[in-house]
Structure formats: C-alpha cells, structure tokens
C-alpha cells in the first residue's frame, strides 16, 4: 500500500538515501566519529557548512536586510539562572520521564502511548519532570553561585536586550529583533538525523507590537514565513500551517501555528509562529526591576508591547530542503541522483570543469574560476571524465557547470550546463558573470 502521507515521487528509502549522501559527499558527519561517534551530535562538512550558511543567509536577508523594521542581535549562549527563572524555563521547560519497570529503559512519557517501545511492557515508574536545559559552572568553583545555563532558545537574548536595542536604534513598535545561533536542549529522545538534536541552530525574530495589533501581525507573519519556504523552492504541497489547540499552547503563548513539512515519517514542525503576548517583557521587568516598555511621545501612551515570534530551526530546515530537493531521474538512458536545490541554497552555485587534464586548458580554466569567485561559491574539478563530473555536481545540487574546452582557447567562450534540464549553451567568457547573475536573479 502506498503511504498516503509520503511526499509525491519520493523514493521509499528517502531518509536513508539522504543520510548516506550527506556522509558520502561531505554534508554532515557523525560528531567524534573516530571515537565511535557522540550520539545526537553532528559536524557539518565542506558542503553542509555552505548549505547551512546559505539557509541562514536567506533567512537574514528576508528578515533583516530587506526590512527597515527589524534589526539584528548576537547574544551570549551562556547565561545566568536569573534569565531562565524569569522566562519560566527553570520551572516549565521539562519533559515527563518514565522508566520501564521491565527492561529499565527510560522514555518520554508523552511519546510512547503507554507501551515500552523496547520490550512492550506497560509497567512504568511515576513520571518525573526532567528539565531540558544544559547546566554548567562559570569559573573555577562548582558551587551554586557559579551555575550557568546554555541557552535552550535564542529568544530570551532579544527580550533581555529590549531596552538596549530600543535606546540605541530609536525603533518604535512595530519593530523586530532577529537572531541566528546555537541553542542546546538535553533532549531525551534525539532522533531522525538532525531533525531533533541536543545542539542545533535557531533563526528567531521577536516582533514587538502595540497589544491591540497582535492578532493582525500574527496573521501577517504566518503568511510571510510560509512564503519564505516556497520562494526558496520548497514545494507548497509538502508544507502546511497547523494551528495549535488551546491545550497544546506553551506557557507564554496566546496563539501558535507551526509551519510543517511532510517528512518521510509524516508531517512535522519546521517553525513555530507564536503570539507570546507581553509575558516575557513583563516577567523580565518584574525580575530585574528594569522598565521594559515603550513610551510613545506623540500620544503620551506607555505600554508593554506584545510579541509575535517566528521561531525556525536552521539545521532542521536545512534537512527539509535536502529531503525536498532529492530526486532520482534518468539522463541519456543513465540513472542519476540530483539535488534540485534552489541556486541560492546550493553549496556551490558554479563548478568550473576543464574538459581534460591537459595543461593547455588550465590557465584559461583558472582565469574563468577567478572571475567567478567574487560572485559565486565555486568548485573546481579536473578529475574523471566530464560525464562523471557532471553527475557528481548534480548529486550535490550545483545548478551550473562551466566547461572549458579546446575551442575555448580560440573563441574565448565556455559551455554552461544547467543541472535540472542538462541543457548546454555556449557563453562568452567576458559575459559569463552577467549571464549567471541573470540566471540567479530569475531562479
């Protein structure tokens, strides 16, 4: 029976294929692999680091660069308990843990439906609340006064800097503060490759609005965020918006909707968009004694803004883009694997390929490479036959291959091959940057 929830045209073993491709081609490696691997932590290899950076850059461009109402921030990862006490994370950021009385395995109670996935037993210990924050000590003393936490979300950095940003930028609501960076959660059941890990990257924006305008800005950000994914080539039929039921809402939220992606195991969250009300600013104002509010000089009104928060995972989103891009098709009767990544996300936008290893081609090929490098992330490959090199570039999603052949020495033109159609056209070397730029702009 075909799985009605499976993405259209996806191979049955899509997840295994993408994980294998990630390792084979240098997107993602198991961390500390030479020591047997450290569970649930991953290192991003030469191609993965480019793809992840492109995802984060595309987010930053849409959320900060192209807007005059959002500014950026890069706050500390280490933070004192006071922050997490006020935010509610010390008391609320917990999962219910149970131990199987038969096999002694430990599980998240809300994920197993009353049956031990290991041995099938239904006998468990009482549930205990397990806090997901990583605790450490700052400085040489390991006493209570030295306790610090690795942030479990980037969001609190924006709230505790609200007054700093307001004063230094002179923004007024509606305005946002955006941040991209690592967060850490001691997940009990990390799973599905980089979908849920203990160390991951988030892309979050806190948008401060007059309270009465919160519902309309919530709807606005749902639309904006959904479109961000489709603009970057994610098929709309593999995305959906899911509104949370009242009993699902976090302790701070008046409304939440998730952008979900159709993963091989079904629909799951890429991003949450929440109306956090004035919960965070009020909590930090009360705990710190600082005024965290906005004074509107024109109207003489003083108020605590509400917050609309689009909160996405960068590493999880990168994985979704890889899954959506993975295709197997046939070219000239030969099977190929192709990553149909949007050119802005592809690890390399261009590969420069001298047709042969003969030394006569190298100087022009290197000249072409040097002319492209200021504009695009480029690969340069002289190994194997040209057909094999095309396949290698298809497999990592490079949208354009530029081949320098013996005719190029006479006519100063090169062949540009397009990844998805495999169409080839001759382009003068002098017009190459402009041609590829135009293609990039059209994508």
Residues that bind ligand GAP (CB under 6 A): 153, 155, 185, 187, 196-197, 200, 202, 204, 269-272, 309, 311-313, 315-316
Nearer Cβ to ligand GAP (259/404): 259
CA-based end-to-end distance of the chain: 37
The residue at minimum Cβ distance from ligand GAP is 313
d(CA 415, CA 65): 34
Between 52 and 270, whose beta carbon lies closer to ligand GAP? 270
CB of 238 to ligand GAP, least distance (A): 16
Least gap, CB of 158 to ligand GAP (angstroms): 9
Q: How far apart are CA 220 and CA 175, in angstroms?
A: 13
State the nearest-atom distance from the C-beta of 269 to ligand GAP, in Å: 5
- Least Å distance, CB 206 to ligand GAP, is 9
Name the CA radius of gyration of the chain, rounded: 25
Residues in a beta bridge with 266: 263
Least distance between ligand GAP and beta carbon 231 (Å): 18
Cβ proximity to ligand GAP, 316 vs 392, nearer residue: 316
Nearer to ligand GAP, 311 or 414 (CB): 311
CB of 51 to ligand GAP, least distance (A): 16
Q: How far is the CB of 419 from ligand GAP (least distance, A)?
A: 28
Q: Which C-beta is closer to ligand GAP: that of 153 or that of 379?
A: 153
Between 282 and 439, whose beta carbon lies closer to ligand GAP? 282
Nearer to ligand GAP, 95 or 394 (CB): 95
Least distance to ligand GAP from the beta carbon of 327, Å?
24
Q: What is the 3-state secondary structure (H, E, C) of the chain?
A: CCCCCCCCCCCCCHHHHHHHHHHHCCCEEECCHHHCCCCCCEEECHHHHHHHHHHHHHHHHHHHHCCCCEEECCCCCEECHHHHHHHCHHHHCEEEEEEECCCCCEEEHHHHCCCCCCCCCCCECCCEEEECCEEEECCCCCCHHHEEEECCCCHHHHHHCHHHHHHHHCCCCCEEEEEEEEEECCCCCCECCCCECCEEEEEEEEEEECHHHHHHHHHHHHHHHHHHHHHCCCCHHHEEEEECCHHHCCCCCCEEEEEEEEECCEEEEEEEEEEEECHHHHHHHHHHCCCCCEEECCCCEEECCEEEEEEEEHHHHHHHHHHHHEEEEEECCEEEEEECCCCCCCCCCEEEEECCCCHHHHHHHHHHHHHHCCCCCEEECCCCCHHHHHHHHHHCCCCEEEEECHHHHHHCEEEEEECCCCCEEEEEHHHHHHHHHHHHHHC
| Least spacing, CB of residue 152 vs ligand GAP, in Å | 7
Q: Structure tokens of 397?
A: 């999603």
Give the number of C-alpha atoms closer than 13 A to the C-alpha of residue 56, restricted to the C-beta side: 20
Tokens matching residue 215: 């519902």
Please, are residues 288 and 130 in contact by the beta-carbon 8 Å criterion? no
Shortest distance in whole angstroms from residue 303 CB to ligand GAP: 22
196 vs 342 by CB, closer to ligand GAP: 196
Nearest to ligand GAP of 197, 398 (CB atom): 197
State which residue, 194 or 365, has the beta carbon closest to ligand GAP: 194
Nearer to ligand GAP, 309 or 394 (CB): 309
Give me the least distance between CB of 251 and ligand GAP, in Å please. Answer: 11
């Amino acid at each position: 029976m075909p799985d009605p929830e499976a993405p259209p045209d996806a191979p049955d073993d899509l997840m295994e294929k993408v994980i294998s491709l990630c390792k084979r081609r240098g997107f993602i490696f198991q961390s500390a692999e030479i020591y047997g691997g450290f569970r649930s932590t991953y290192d991003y290899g030469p191609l993965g680091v480019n793809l992840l950076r492109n995802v984060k850059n595309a987010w930053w461009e849409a959320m900060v660069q192209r807007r005059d109402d959002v500014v950026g921030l890069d706050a500390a990862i280490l933070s004192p308990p006071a922050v997490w006490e006020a935010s509610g994370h010390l008391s609320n950021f917990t999962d219910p843990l149970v131990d199987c009385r038969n096999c002694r395995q430990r599980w998240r109670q809300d994920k197993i439906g009353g049956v031990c996935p290991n041995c099938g037993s239904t006998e468990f210990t009482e549930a205990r609340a397990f806090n997901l924050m990583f605790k450490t000590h700052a400085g040489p003393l390991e006493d209570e006064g030295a306790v610090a936490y690795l942030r479990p979300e980037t969001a609190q950095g924006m709230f505790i800097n609200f007054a700093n940003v307001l004063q230094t930028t002179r923004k007024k609501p509606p305005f946002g503060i955006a941040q991209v960076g690592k967060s850490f959660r001691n997940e009990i059941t990390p799973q599905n490759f980089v979908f849920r890990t203990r160390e991951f990257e988030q892309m979050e924006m806190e948008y401060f609005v007059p309270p009465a305008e919160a519902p309309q800005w919530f709807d606005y950000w749902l639309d904006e965020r959904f479109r961000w994914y489709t603009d970057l080539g994610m098929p709309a039929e593999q995305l959906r918006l899911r509104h949370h039921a009242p009993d699902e809402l976090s302790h701070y939220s008046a409304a939440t909707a998730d952008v979900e992606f159709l993963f091989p195991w079904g629909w799951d969250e890429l991003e949450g968009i929440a109306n956090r009300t004035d919960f965070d600013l009020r909590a930090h104002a009360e705990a710190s004694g600082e005024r965290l509010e906005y004074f509107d000089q024109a109207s003489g009104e003083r108020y605590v803004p509400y917050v609309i928060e689009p909160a996405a995972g960068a590493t999880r989103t990168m994985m979704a883009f890889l899954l959506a891009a993975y295709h197997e098709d046939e070219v000239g009767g030969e099977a190929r694997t192709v990553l149909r990544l949007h050119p802005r996300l592809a690890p390399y936008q261009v590969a420069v390929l001298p047709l042969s290893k003969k030394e006569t081609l190298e100087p022009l090929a290197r000249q072409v490479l040097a002319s492209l490098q200021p504009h695009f992330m480029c690969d340069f490959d002289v190994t194997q036959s040209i057909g094999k090199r095309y396949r290698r570039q298809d497999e990592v999603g490079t949208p354009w291959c530029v081949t320098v052949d013996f005719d190029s020495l006479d006519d100063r033109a090169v062949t540009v091959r397009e990844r998805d159609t495999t169409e080839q056209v001759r382009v003068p070397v002098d017009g190459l940057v402009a041609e590829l730029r135009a293609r990039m702009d059209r994508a």
